[in-house]
């Protein structure tokens, strides 16, 4: 079945084109490189995996309860709109909510794949080209698995959110080589990584937990890559050049904040768009979710050297300035550990099942022989 048959509203069958500008940069230096980036490149090669094999796609998913989380996580919960819904309609709302979330994930990952390829083309240093080439493959894998999850397990896809589309446009159309890093590695990937983490930690369903844990293991490296490259470069920029990057961050964070409101979901259920923002603001879960979503972006922006009074004021106004105290290295180390622990637990169970099967065969053969 074509993905176009699963969209909640028609989307163009033609490609969506963003005109690219800027230079494709070659370098003739093949020997020297930054040890930290080359080590990350080696890790990127070592950690490649096959989503068709590592993910247990036989696990069943109830499309009307994809994540198994309390209904309080829905912004409409407790309002007059929720009270008038039937049991069937509430189940359909859960399906739409999960579809919208994972649809934005797959659209963002396609953007990340294209941006990583763009970085290979435009970044001047070979070590950064090496690493970004591995990231391009990572992002292709993420597009593959998120689209499969949407098509096979949820059976519904939402179009790309206009705010996410706007940020992708700005990220890919800028002529400066560092802007794809800033737009994708810091803002889009940073917000996605935090969203993955929230859902990974609260879902009670094994398949989405697997998918998000393994994707996060990759994404932790991608954000580290952006931090390394931009921290080195931004230390050399003038005050006016830094100000331009800070303006981009401020605009991008406002776009990301508006994106997570999910207005498309609620309008599909007949809720006036004017009520959506109020519902989101009054939802304790959504306020908590928004704060957590910036837990990766804020300390990263600080770490790369974009920490002016205006940046701090913007984060303070958004209620996320406290996140600047976060330890990114600790968070990303935790992402690695969770994926490895999940692997160990899964394969221990499979090994035990195989052993039990072998023991049963041996016992049956022994019984036959004694008879």
Can you give the pLDDT at residue 368?
Answer: 66
- The label of the residue with tokens 């932790």 reads 220
Can you give the pLDDT at residue 354?
Answer: 66
CB 112 within 8 A of CB 189: yes
Can you give the pLDDT at residue 359?
Answer: 64
CB 154 within 8 A of CB 61: yes
CA distance 295 to 335: 14
Can you give the pLDDT at residue 369?
Answer: 60
What pTM did the predictor assign?
0.88
Can you give the pLDDT at residue 189?
Answer: 86
Can you give the pLDDT at residue 366?
Answer: 64
Q: In tens digits, what is the pLDDT along the chain, a chain of 371 residues?
A: 789 999 998 998 888 888 877 788 888 777 767 788 888 889 889 999 999 999 999 999 999 999 999 998 888 898 899 999 999 999 999 999 999 999 999 999 999 999 999 999 988 888 889 999 999 999 999 999 999 999 999 999 999 998 889 988 888 888 888 998 899 888 988 888 888 999 999 999 999 999 999 999 998 888 888 888 899 899 999 999 999 999 999 999 988 877 777 788 888 898 887 787 788 778 887 777 777 888 889 999 999 999 999 999 999 998 899 999 989 889 888 999 999 999 998 877 766 666 666 666 666 666 666 66
Can you give the pLDDT at residue 178?
Answer: 92
Q: For the chain, which domains are there?
A: 3-9+33-331 (1.10.620.20)
CA distance 51 to 141: 7
3-state secondary structure 230-269: HHHHHCCCCHHHHHHHHHHHHHHHHHHHHHCCCHHHHHCC
CA distance 333 to 296: 13
Please name which of 37, 42, 39, 51 lies closest in space to residue 213, comparing C-alpha atoms.
51
Adjacent-strand bridge partners of 157: 7
């Amino acid at each position: 079945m074509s993905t176009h048959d699963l969209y909640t509203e028609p989307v163009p069958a033609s490609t969506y084109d963003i005109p690219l500008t800027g230079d494709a940069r070659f370098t003739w230096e093949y020997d020297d490189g930054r040890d930290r980036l080359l080590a990350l490149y080696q890790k990127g090669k070592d950690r490649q995996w096959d989503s068709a094999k590592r993910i247990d796609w036989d696990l069943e998913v109830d499309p009307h309860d994809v994540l198994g989380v309390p209904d309080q996580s829905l912004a409409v919960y407790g309002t007059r709109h929720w009270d008038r819904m039937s049991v069937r309609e509430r189940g359909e709302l859960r399906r739409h909510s999960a579809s919208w979330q994972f649809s934005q994930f797959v659209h963002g990952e396609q953007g990340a794949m294209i941006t990583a390829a763009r970085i290979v083309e435009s970044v001047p240093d070979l070590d950064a080209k090496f690493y970004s080439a591995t990231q391009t493959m990572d992002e292709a894998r993420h597009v593959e698995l998120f689209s499969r999850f949407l098509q096979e397990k949820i059976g519904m896809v939402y179009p790309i959110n206009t705010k996410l589309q706007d940020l992708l446009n700005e990220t890919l159309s800028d002529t400066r080589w560092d802007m794809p890093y800033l737009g994708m590695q810091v803002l889009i990937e940073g917000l996605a990584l935090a969203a993955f983490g929230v859902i990974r930690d609260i879902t009670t369903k094994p398949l989405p937990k697997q998918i998000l844990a393994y994707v996060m293991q990759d994404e932790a490296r991608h954000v580290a890559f952006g931090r390394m490259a931009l921290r080195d470069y931004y230390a050399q920029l003038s005050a006016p050049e830094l100000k331009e990057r800070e303006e981009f961050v401020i605009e991008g964070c406002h776009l990301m904040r508006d994106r997570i409101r999910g207005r498309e979901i609620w309008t599909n259920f007949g809720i006036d768009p004017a009520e959506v923002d109020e519902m989101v603001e009054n939802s304790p879960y959504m306020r908590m979710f928004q704060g957590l979503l910036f837990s990766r972006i804020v300390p990263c922006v600080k770490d790369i050297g974009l920490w002016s009074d205006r940046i701090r004021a913007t984060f303070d106004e958004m209620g996320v300035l406290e996140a600047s105290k976060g330890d990114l290295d600790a968070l990303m180390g935790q992402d690695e550990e969770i994926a490895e622990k999940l692997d160990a637990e899964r394969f221990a169970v499979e090994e035990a099942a195989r052993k039990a099967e072998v023991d049963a065969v041996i016992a049956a053969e022994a019984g036959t022989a004694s008879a």
